[in-house]
Structure 1
Amino acid sequence: MKSATEPRTVASALLSASGVDELAEKVFAAIDKQDEGLRTINKEIWENPELGFKEVHAHKILTDFLEDQGFKVTRSAYNISTAFRAEYFSGEGRTVSFNAEFDALPGIGHACGHNLIATIGVAAAIGVKEALKNQGVSGKVVLIGTPAEESLGGKVKLLEAGAYDDLDCSLMAHPANDRYTSYGRTLASWRANVTWTGEAAHAAAAPYMGRNALDGFVSAYSSTGLYRQQLMPTDRIHHVIQGNHDMVANIIPDSVDSVWGVRGKTRPRVEQVREQLFKILHASASATNTSVEITPFQDYWDQNPSLQLANAYYELQKKYVDPAKDTETSKFTITAPEDDDGEAAASSDQGNVSWFLPSIQVSFPVGGTAPAHNAGFRELAGTDFAHGQAIKTAKALALTGIQVLQNEAFAKAMWEEWEAMIAKISVGLKEGSADSTKRAAKKRHVH
């Protein structure tokens, strides 16, 4: 169980500060004023699903709306056609950021609810803009349009391009079924295309002239099954064959394509499992007299939330958007950071962001029982109820961001906690991996 006494004390102190209730009222009113436009954005993205790096329609409606709201908008930011950066500032100070995801899944549309994530990002940015423009708060709010979260690592490319270098925190939310959380984790993940190459031959007349690429895959598949006995309960190895559909039984297959993945609780653990998997893949090629080529995708790192931010969000949500106060949401629970079970099942490129600066990815309920990446969840993500929960979540995230801008002691504690956490979780990483994290940290200004 995480110790939350000190961060909770800091977060609670924020709520007792004079003027907080009045500020919250103004921020919420600014968001509610734009609800019609926010509903349109939500509906348009949900009804027009687009795959990663192809989100042309979502990019246009989001950037047009943000520009109309008075944000300075950079379209196709960081040389990524469907990325964007929208910002608003007033005076000197820290910079708080939100993410807007908007890519869909192949075949089943917005079954991960990214239409809601985009809506939350826009709404939260509007709330912070109100505080900057009309309520005497100094600093900057940035909304980053982050395409291609589903497997293609849009945020990884944005990190490499420097999109997060000048920010003090990154806040976002993700839909779930039945509860509100403030301390969500995700698993580290590695994926790759793996291709075995052999030589074709007639399977009856001259099989001895062939080298069977399918045997290479089967050998690796079988060996991986044996390796699972030595895996930890939280480790996962995935694989799927993408073989040539023109294959026939009387021809020795000369090429087999597949996708392999490794997941684990931490980056060091994924690196350990991946090293053994490499041995299996290469051994399978050697044993079957084939060759193997491994082409990795983007690595997704485990998400390590800021306890300071999580506690602030938890306290602010409880006070201002408490689900228990609404009969429609009273059946859902809000989980305190120290009560989070720490279990994670999915992976996200927001995990990579959490290694570069303090961040949280909270969750909110859309109801139902259909799991994410399921057609039933797609339907849940398009409901009025889900939109309402998204707006409530955006309000609490906006207030959390405002605390970062307003409160020097809180911001300092946030950075100190993050730096200590990164030093701790980097133990066990390969030298190159650890160095990349350190270099990223040096790019930012130090508090």
Structure 2
Amino acid sequence: MQSLLKSTIAILASSTLLHSCVSCQELADQVFAAIDSRNDGLRTLNTEIWENPEIGYQEVHAHQVLTDYLEEQGFKVTRSAYNLSTAFRAEFSNGEGRDVSFNSEFDALPGLGHACGHNLIATVGVAAAIGVKDALENGSVKGSVVLLGTPAEEGGGGKETPTMLLGVELWLLGVVTSLGLEASDCYFELFSTTFAYLVSSSVAAHAAAAPWAGQNALDGFVAAYQMAGLFRQQLQPSDRIHHVVTKGWSVANIIPDYIESQWGVRGNSRPRRDVVLDQVQSILYASGNGTNTTVEITPFQDYWDQNPSYQLASTFYQYQMKYLDPADDPKTANFTVSSPEESRRDGGASASSDQGNVSWFLPAIQVGFPVGGGAPVHNAGFRELAGTDFAHESAIQTAKILALTGLEVLQNETYAEAMWEEWRAMIEEVSVSI
């Protein structure tokens, strides 16, 4: 990876941003004005999604309001794209050239609403696509912009459809920073994860009259839970195991014959995740054998580790510092902004996303932005922060810089070729262990 870093720095040095054109500021002003002029509508869109949370593959309202708005803005919109009822593809082209893609997520968490801020992620994607579209309409840049609306990031893998990536040259995504803290990060390395349902089934009986006639399915889960806990002393610091009971009996005087639970395993790479997963599967089957319960494992999620484009992240960071440095605004002057070098040095986040899968097929970055406050993500407090004016403005600022990053690829052939060269070298390097 160190050799890759050195080659990337050389690439960046030889590929000057926006051709060092005299009109850089003019183009930035144009993009920013295009987004600012629609800010009221974008705020309404953001609020509409935040106030009407829908879980994965059920985002009917969000799909409707997003596609309606994009159509009003002049995009060619394909609803229910890729045989996914709540996915969409919005695009605009002014002729031959390269493609740039942005992404909008919009699913909510069960019982918590938008406690992961996907209303903001949806807004970033829409606003960034509008910024690039405006530059294309004015003829200053040639190419196409695509906005992909992907459902069910929270466990459903809405980005895992391979056909979604056809005709797309890169993928840019804005996300909220993991803890909702006062920080920005443009270089996210995410973990690989697998989630599965575990069904433990056995024989029911009256818990007082004849408990010996039953076999307790809950014992199977408890045994697995305890063995997984003992296994933690052999885990590496970056490994994760999660589990929760999702279905079962609700009265104490019945020996339960059915317990359904959900299990998750994470690692900082697919090979490392699979090492942990193999042991966890052994634990689950052993728990069944030891308690005379039948165990059935059904995987439902396979998210890969994320390999972000260092070049795209560096470009985003340079533009952020040049045009929208948080230090220049009293409201954000004390915020932390991590450079790609700092983020790489500090290591990746232990979260996971289907965005990781995307990064194995084309150059991609996932940019984190703050929502203010200190509530952790997937928390009711974070949900409230995600609906604030501050969070919306943070999303808009992020969209502006993502738009400029996308335009760099569209109008700078040398830069685009270097981006692909860096990505191919990175994927070749990380694929050795798979």
TM-score computed with the length of structure 1 as normaliser: 0.91
Residue deviations 1:415-440 (CA, integer Å, cap 9, x gap)? 111111112222332xxxxxxxxxxx
Aligned to 1:47: 51
Aligned to 2:166: 165
Amino acid at match of 1:318: M
Question: Among 384, 388, 400, which residue is 1:379 paired with?
Answer: 384
Distance 2:96 2:260 in 1: 53
The alignment status of 1:257 with 2:257, answered yes or no, reads: no
Amino acid at match of 1:326: D
Question: Among 70, 76, 93, which residue is 2:74 paired with?
Answer: 70
Distance 1:379 1:201 in 2: 45
Secondary structure class of the residue paired with 1:39: helix
Question: Among 26, 32, 45, which residue is 1:22 paired with?
Answer: 26
Question: Among 424, 429, 433, which residue is 1:428 paired with?
Answer: 433
Query: Do the aligned partners of 2:56 and 2:153 also contact (CA within 8 Å) in 1?
Result: yes
Distance 1:365 1:128 in 2: 23
5+ long unaligned stretches in structure 1:
430-447
| CA shift for structure 1 position 212 | 2.3
Question: Among 122, 131, 135, which residue is 1:131 paired with?
Answer: 135
The farther-off stretch of 221-230 and 115-124 is 221-230
| CA shift for structure 1 position 110 | 1.2
The alignment status of 1:277 with 2:280, answered yes or no, reads: yes
Secondary structure class of the residue paired with 1:369: coil
* Residue 211 to residue 128, structure 1, CA distance change in 2 (3 Å): same
Residue deviations 1:16-74 (CA, integer Å, cap 9, x gap)? 33322111111111111111111110111111111111111111111111111110001
Amino acid at match of 1:131: A
Distance 1:315 1:12 in 2: 11
Please list, as runs of the form range in 1=range in 2, the aligned pairs for 1:265-414 lying within 5 A after superposition.
265-340=268-343, 341-414=346-419
| CA shift for structure 1 position 155 | 1.1
Residue deviations 1:359-398 (CA, integer Å, cap 9, x gap)? 0001111110111111111111111111111111101000
Secondary structure class of the residue paired with 2:301: coil
Aligned to 1:245: 249
Distance 1:350 1:218 in 2: 33
Query: Do the aligned partners of 1:11 and 1:312 also contact (CA within 8 Å) in 2?
Result: no
Question: Among 7, 10, 24, which residue is 1:6 paired with?
Answer: 10
| CA shift for structure 1 position 10 | 4.6
Aligned to 1:442: none
Secondary structure class of the residue paired with 1:297: strand
Residue deviations 1:270-328 (CA, integer Å, cap 9, x gap)? 11111111111111212222210001112111111000110111111111111111111
The alignment status of 1:175 with 2:176, answered yes or no, reads: yes
| CA shift for structure 1 position 111 | 1.2
Distance 2:341 2:260 in 1: 44
Query: Do the aligned partners of 2:249 and 2:259 also contact (CA within 8 Å) in 1?
Result: no
| CA shift for structure 1 position 205 | 4.7
The alignment status of 1:231 with 2:235, answered yes or no, reads: yes
Amino acid at match of 1:292: V
Amino acid at match of 2:304: W
Secondary structure class of the residue paired with 1:299: strand
Query: Do the aligned partners of 2:309 and 2:365 also contact (CA within 8 Å) in 1?
Result: yes
Secondary structure class of the residue paired with 2:77: strand
Aligned to 2:144: 140
Amino acid at match of 1:226: L
Distance 1:91 1:284 in 2: 61
The percentage of aligned residue pairs carrying the same residue is 61
* Residue 18 to residue 360, structure 1, CA distance change in 2 (3 Å): same
5+ long unaligned stretches in structure 2:
none
Aligned to 1:32: 36
Distance 2:251 2:410 in 1: 60
Secondary structure class of the residue paired with 2:255: coil
Secondary structure class of the residue paired with 1:129: helix
The farther-off stretch of 239-248 and 46-55 is 239-248
Query: Do the aligned partners of 1:196 and 1:285 also contact (CA within 8 Å) in 2?
Result: yes
Query: Do the aligned partners of 1:12 and 1:315 also contact (CA within 8 Å) in 2?
Result: no
| CA shift for structure 1 position 7 | 4.5
Amino acid at match of 1:274: L
Query: Do the aligned partners of 1:23 and 1:135 also contact (CA within 8 Å) in 2?
Result: no
Query: Do the aligned partners of 1:11 and 1:315 also contact (CA within 8 Å) in 2?
Result: no
Query: Do the aligned partners of 1:7 and 1:311 also contact (CA within 8 Å) in 2?
Result: no
Query: Do the aligned partners of 1:242 and 1:258 also contact (CA within 8 Å) in 2?
Result: yes
Residue deviations 1:129-165 (CA, integer Å, cap 9, x gap)? 1111103311110001111111111112xx23x0112
Please list, as runs of the form range in 1=range in 2, the aligned pairs for 1:77-96 lying within 5 A after superposition.
77-96=81-100
Residue deviations 1:324-348 (CA, integer Å, cap 9, x gap)? 1111111112211011112312111
* Residue 379 to residue 202, structure 1, CA distance change in 2 (3 Å): closer
Aligned to 1:436: none
Query: Do the aligned partners of 1:404 and 1:410 also contact (CA within 8 Å) in 2?
Result: yes
Aligned to 1:437: none
| CA shift for structure 1 position 253 | 2.0
Distance 1:243 1:65 in 2: 39
Distance 1:130 1:316 in 2: 18
* Residue 50 to residue 205, structure 1, CA distance change in 2 (3 Å): closer
Distance 1:418 1:387 in 2: 32
* Residue 11 to residue 232, structure 1, CA distance change in 2 (3 Å): farther
Secondary structure class of the residue paired with 2:145: strand
Secondary structure class of the residue paired with 2:331: coil
| Superposition RMSD in Å | 1.6
